[in-house]
Amino acid sequence: MKRTPFLKRIVIMIIVIAIVFALINIMWFYMYMSIYKPILNNPKIVLDDSESSKCYSYSFDTENTREYGFFLKSPKYLKFWGSLQMSHSMIMSETGGFLDTGRKVDIVCYPKILKKDRLFIRVISNDSDGFRLTEIRVDENLELLSDVTYSPEEQQIYNECIDEARKNYKVFTDFFDYQCN
Residues 31, 80 contacting (CB under 8 angstroms): yes
Is the model's pLDDT at 139 over the cut of 90? yes
Is 169 inside any structural domain?
A: yes
Q: How confident is the model at residue 67 (pLDDT cuts 50, 70, 90)?
A: confident
Is 74 inside any structural domain?
A: yes
CA pseudo-torsion sign 54, 59, 64, 66: positive
- Identify which of 45-54, 71-80, 137-146 has the greatest average pLDDT: 137-146
Q: How confident is the model at residue 180 (pLDDT cuts 50, 70, 90)?
A: confident
Is 12 inside any structural domain?
A: yes
Is 181 inside any structural domain?
A: no
Is 54 inside any structural domain?
A: yes
- Identify which of 20-24, 88-92, 94-98 has the greatest average pLDDT: 20-24
Number of domains in the chain: 1
Q: How confident is the model at residue 50 (pLDDT cuts 50, 70, 90)?
A: low
Size of the chain in residues: 181
What pTM was estimated for this model as a whole? 0.77
Of residues 26 and 126, which shows the higher confidence score? 26
Is the model's pLDDT at 124 over the cut of 80? yes
Is the model's pLDDT at 52 over the cut of 60? no
Is 144 inside any structural domain?
A: yes
Is 10 inside any structural domain?
A: yes
Domain span at residue 151?
A: 3-176
CA–CA dist 81, 46 (Å, integer):
20
CA–CA dist 51, 56 (Å, integer):
11
pLDDT of residue 64: 56
Is 43 inside any structural domain?
A: yes
